[in-house]
Amino acid sequence: MIQVKGFGCINDEIVVNDAALANHAFNLDKCYLYSNSNYLGYRLSKSLPLSNISVQTYENTKYHKLETQFMTFKQHLEHIEASKILGVAQRFLVNVNEHDEGIYQHGQYIQQNPKSIPYSPKDQAVEFSLYSEIAKISVCVDNMNDILKIMKSADYRKVRKLSEAYNDSLIIKAVMRHIDQNVFKRVKALKRYDTEQLEKLINQGLKKLDKCHEIGFIGSKLQHKFFTLDEEHRLVIRPKQAVNFVNKYCQVSILNSKKIYEQKIVNFECLGWGGYQYRALSYMSSITPRWIELNGERYDASLGGLVISVSELSIAA
Tens digit of pLDDT at every position of the chain (317 positions)? 444 466 666 666 777 777 777 887 788 877 777 777 778 777 777 777 777 777 776 666 666 777 888 888 888 888 888 889 999 999 999 999 888 778 899 999 999 999 999 999 999 999 999 999 999 999 999 899 999 999 988 888 999 999 999 999 888 999 999 999 999 988 888 899 999 999 999 999 998 876 554 455 455 455 578 888 888 878 889 999 999 999 999 999 999 989 999 999 999 999 999 999 999 998 888 788 889 998 888 999 988 877 765 454 444 44
Q: Cα 18–21–26 angle (5° rounding)?
A: 120
Q: What is the pLDDT of residue 12?
A: 65
- Positive/negative CA dihedral, 103, 108, 111, 112: negative
Q: Which of 314, 235, 301, 317 is nearest to 93 (CA)?
A: 301
Q: What is the pLDDT of residue 144?
A: 94
Coil, helix or strand at residue 181 = helix
CA–CA distance, 222 with 170 (Å, rounded to integer): 12
Query: How far are the Cα atoms of 121, 208, 214 from residue 5, in angstroms, in the given order?
Result: 54, 48, 42
Burial code (b: 16+ CB inside 10 Å, e: under 16) for 23-37 equals eeeeeeeeeeeeeee
CB–CB of 150/144 below 8 Å? no
CB–CB of 242/199 below 8 Å? yes
